[in-house]
């Protein structure tokens, strides 16, 4: 059975990021883990482009920019499987709850365009998902990133994970801490490492999820990087984030 992971602010996703699904090597968890954006990979036939969610007042220009900049396989290297990601109604509710907890409105209130990447997975454990959201003003983007790195963020992220575990009947211990070094260069950003100790039939297995968001003008670039037993390498996270930010 696969874990579900967290999404970010306006990843509706990233805000809270991204939502990937990942398996456990050698053992099966008794219950699925959480996801703020979550859902298992779609069973529909792969699409030629990334999954897209538009806002109530979309901008064609913003959508074009987001589609051009979104994470691609070439940005992270070979050896990954690509699966279309499709958010759900529950993921939108979880996103709104988390945004409310950190003091921000639901994502659609300000978004003018949103694009999800494919879900990239390697083996049974490593998974990466990204999104790019354009918001209406620079002030909105700055307020979002400040809220995501504010005093309430760690508590709200943890609360969101635990609520989703309670919803599925699972049991886990969750810790949330800022990443020691941001993988986003000089752009304003917020990044956290979530460590989940989930109880399984074969004992307790550590799962690591790095949740990263940066802004560039009105664009909010979000990604989740998830693996079991060890975090995704910092070099992969830097490559992914820098690739998207560099195209904006």
With cut-offs at 50, 70 and 90, classify the pLDDT of residue 10: very low
Of 39-53, 79-93, 138-152, 222-236, the one with minimum mean pLDDT is 39-53
Q: What is the pLDDT of residue 52?
A: 52
Higher pLDDT, 61 or 17: 61
Q: Is the pLDDT of residue 23 over 60?
A: no
- The C-alpha atoms of residue 66 and residue 115 are separated, in whole angstroms, by 6
Q: State in Å, rounded, how far the first CA of the chain is from the last one.
A: 37
Encode pLDDT of 150-202 as tens digits: 999 999 999 888 887 778 777 788 999 998 777 777 788 999 999 988 777 77
Query: Residues 246, 217: contact at Cβ < 8 Å?
Result: no
- The C-alpha atoms of residue 106 and residue 109 are separated, in whole angstroms, by 6
Higher pLDDT, 68 or 97: 68
Q: What is the pLDDT of residue 247?
A: 96
Percent of the residues in the chain that have a pLDDT greater than 90, as a whole number = 48
The CATH number of domain 3-246 is 3.40.1000: yes
Encode pLDDT of 71-103 as tens digits: 999 999 989 999 999 888 888 788 888 888 999
Query: Residues 20, 6: contact at Cβ < 8 Å?
Result: no
Q: Is the pLDDT of residue 2 over 90?
A: no
Q: What is the pLDDT of residue 192?
A: 94
Query: Residues 132, 66: contact at Cβ < 8 Å?
Result: yes
- 38: tokens are 């979550």
Alpha-carbon distances, residue 133 vs 4, 145, 163 (angstroms): 22, 13, 25
């Amino acid at each position: 059975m696969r874990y579900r992971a967290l999404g970010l602010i306006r990843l509706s996703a990233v805000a809270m990021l991204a939502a990937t699904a990942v398996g456990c090597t050698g053992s099966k968890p008794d219950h699925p883990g959480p996801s703020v954006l979550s859902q298992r990979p779609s069973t529909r036939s792969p699409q030629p482009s990334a999954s897209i969610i538009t806002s109530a007042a979309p901008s064609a220009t913003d959508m074009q920019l987001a589609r051009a900049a979104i994470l691609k396989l070439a940005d992270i290297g070979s050896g990954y499987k690509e699966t279309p990601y499709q958010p759900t109604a529950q993921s939108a509710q979880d996103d709104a709850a988390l945004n409310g907890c950190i003091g921000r409105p639901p994502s659609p209130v300000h978004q003018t365009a949103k694009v999800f990447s494919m879900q990239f997975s390697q083996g049974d454990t490593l998974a990466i998902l990204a999104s790019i959201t354009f918001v209406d003003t620079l002030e909105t983007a700055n307020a979002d990133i400040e809220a995501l790195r504010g005093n309430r963020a760690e508590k709200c992220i943890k609360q969101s994970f635990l609520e989703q575990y309670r919803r599925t009947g699972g049991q886990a211990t969750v810790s949330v801490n800022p990443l020691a070094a941001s993988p986003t260069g000089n752009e304003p950003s917020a990044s956290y490492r979530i460590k989940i100790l989930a109880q399984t039939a074969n004992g307790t297995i550590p799962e690591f999820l790095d949740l990263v968001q940066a802004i560039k003008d009105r664009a909010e670039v979000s990604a989740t990087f998830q693996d079991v037993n060890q975090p995704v390498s910092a070099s992969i996270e830097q490559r992914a984030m820098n690739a998207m930010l560099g195209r904006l």
